[in-house]
Amino acid sequence: MPPSEAAIDGNAVPAALAGLGAAVTTAGDTDTFAVESPFDGRTIGEVPACGPDDVAAAVDRAADSGWEDTEAADRAEILVRFHDLVLDEQGAILDVVQTETGKARRDAHEEVLDVAATARYYAYRAESALETEPRKGALPGLTETEVNHHPVGTVGVVSPWNYPLNLSVGDAIPALLAGNAVVFKPAPETPYTVLKAVELLRAAGVPESAVQVVTGDTSAGEAVVEATDYVCFTGSTAAGRAVAATAGETLTDCSLELGGKNPGIVRADADLDRAVDGLVRGCFSNAGQLCLSVERLYVHTDVFDRFVDRFLEATESIDLGTGYGYGVEMGSLISERHLEKVNTHVEGAEAEGATVLTGGRARPDVGPYFFEPTVLSGVEKPMAVATEETFGPVVSIYPYETDAEAIELANDSAYGLNASVWTNDTDRGRELAAEIEAGTVNVNESYVAAWGSLDAPMGGMKASGIGRRHGIEGLHRFTESQTVAVQKYTGLSPPPGVPYWLFVKLLNGTFRLQRRLPGLR
C-alpha cells in the first residue's frame, strides 16, 4: 500500500527509512553526507562517508563471518525466507526506493519482483549447482575426475542509483548462496534501499557479519574493489574501465555491466499497436534511466509515418508525477547534474540540426529534476545524443529500408548491451536477433522478456561490459572451480618391463577407440 501523502508533502521522513543508517559499517567516528529525495530536493537523511579504514573493517568482519561453513541447503532455506519477506514488506521497500530515486512506483515494483524472482530461482537451484560434479577423466576407467565449486571469499557489490535494489541484491543473492560474504557499496544517491534490503537479509537469517554495507563516494568504491575477492560492478563504461584496471592490478576477478546505446528495430510486418506500447515502455521506463533502455529506434519506411504518429501520441500521454500511487507513469531524474546532462544532449542535438518531435524540456513545475519524454529525428553523428548513452527519457528515431541496413545501423555503436526486434515473423525475428551485437535481444518486447528469463545469462558485449549475471553462470562466477583427478590401478607411464614404443602404441589405440565409441569421446 502507498504511504500517506504527508510522507512526501511534509518534512517527515517516511517511516521505512527510520534507523537504517545505523547498519553502515564504520571503523570509528566518520563524517557524514546528506541524501536527498529527487521528488522535491529535500534532505531525507545522512549516512557515513566511509573511507578505506571503514571498508577494511567491513571486509574483515565479512571474512570472519563463517557463512561459508553453513550448509548449502540451509543457505537456500534462508534465501527462500528472504523471498517471502521481500513480498511481505514490499510496501516499505517501495517507499524507500521511491523516496531516494524519485521513480514511479510501478518502476520500483519491477525491482521488488526481480529480487523476489532471483531469490526463488537461485535458492531452488544452488544446492545442486554447487555439488561436486563428475567429469570425464583422462583415460576411461583409469582416471576418475570431479569438479568442486568453492566460494571465492568476500564479494564486493558496487551498485548504481538507477535500480538500487535489484542491481545490488540481485548480485548478492547468488554470491551468498555460493557461500560468500558480501560487502555492499551503494551509490551515494541511494544508500537506504540497500540498507533496507540488508535489514531483510538479516531478518531472514543471514548472519549480520556476512552482509556489510559501506556508504560513500568513489573512494569507498575503489577501496572495496581493492579489498575484496570478487567484484560486481554496474555503472558507466568509463567507471567500469577504472574498476577493471584496479581489479587487474590485484588479479581480482570481476563482472561489469556497463553502458548501452540500445537499438530497437520495427519491421514493416510488425504489429504497430504492440510495438508502440512496448517501445514506449522500453524508452521511458524509469525516465529512461535504465541500462537496457532503447535510445535508437529504427523503423521501416513502409510504416514509418504511421508508427511515428502513434508513438508520439502515446509519448505525449505519459503522466509525470511525484506520487506514491501506481497511477504515475514516469518519475524524476536522479539529480540536477543528471538533468543537465540530458538537457545538454537534447539542446546540443537541436543546435546541430536535429528536430524535437515532442518533449525536449525540463519540467520544474512537476519536480526539480523532471524532464519530458522526448523523441528526436534528424540525429546524426557526431552529435553526442547519437553515440553517447543519454540515460534519460530521450530516443532518436530513424527510417530504414532493408533488414541488412537495420542490422548495420543497430551494430554501428561501441555498445552492445540490449536490443529489440518487432515483427510478426518471429522466425525472422530470431534470425535478425542473432545478427545483432548485443548480450540480450528481445523479439516483440523491449527488455523484460530477456531480463526476466533468469535461467539465461545476461550481460554486455563490446563496451557494455564483461561477465554475465543470471543463469547458473551467474552463480558459478562466485566460485573457484577446482578439479580433483584420481588415477587408479596404473600410472600414466609405461608399466615395468613395457618398452615405450609399445606403450605409445597402446595409447594410440586407446585414442582411436575413444574416437569410435560415442560413450568414450
Residue 154 belongs to what H/E stretch? strand 154-158
Q: Which of 50, 232, 254, 291 is catalytic?
A: 291
Residue 445 is a catalytic residue = no
Beta strands in 39-142 (DSSP E): 43-48, 133-135
Cβ–Cβ under 8 Å, residues 178 and 130: yes
Interhelix angle 90-101/191-204, nearest 10 degrees: 160
C-alpha cell at 479: 566460485
Taking the C-alpha atoms of residue 45 and residue 62, their distance in angstroms, rounded to an integer, is 26
Does residue 291 carry a catalytic annotation?
yes
Name the grid cell of 348: 546540443
Cβ contact 100:150 at 8 Å: no
Q: What is the DSSP string of 480-498?
A: EEEEEEEE-SS-SSPPTT-
Which grid cell sits at 345? 544532449
CB < 8 Å & 24+ apart, contacts of 398-402: 398/296, 398/297, 398/298, 398/299, 399/298, 399/299, 399/300, 399/301, 399/304, 400/265, 400/298, 400/299, 400/300, 400/301, 401/300, 401/301
Phi-psi region of 378 (alpha: psi -120 to 50; beta: other; left: phi over 0): left
Among residues 257, 295, 329, 445, which one is catalytic?
A: 257
Strand-pair category, 181-185 with 154-158: parallel
Which candidate, 452, 451, 412, places its Cα nearest to that of 263? 412
Dihedral sign, Cα of residue 118, residue 124, residue 130, residue 134:
negative
Positions annotated as catalytic residues are 257, 291
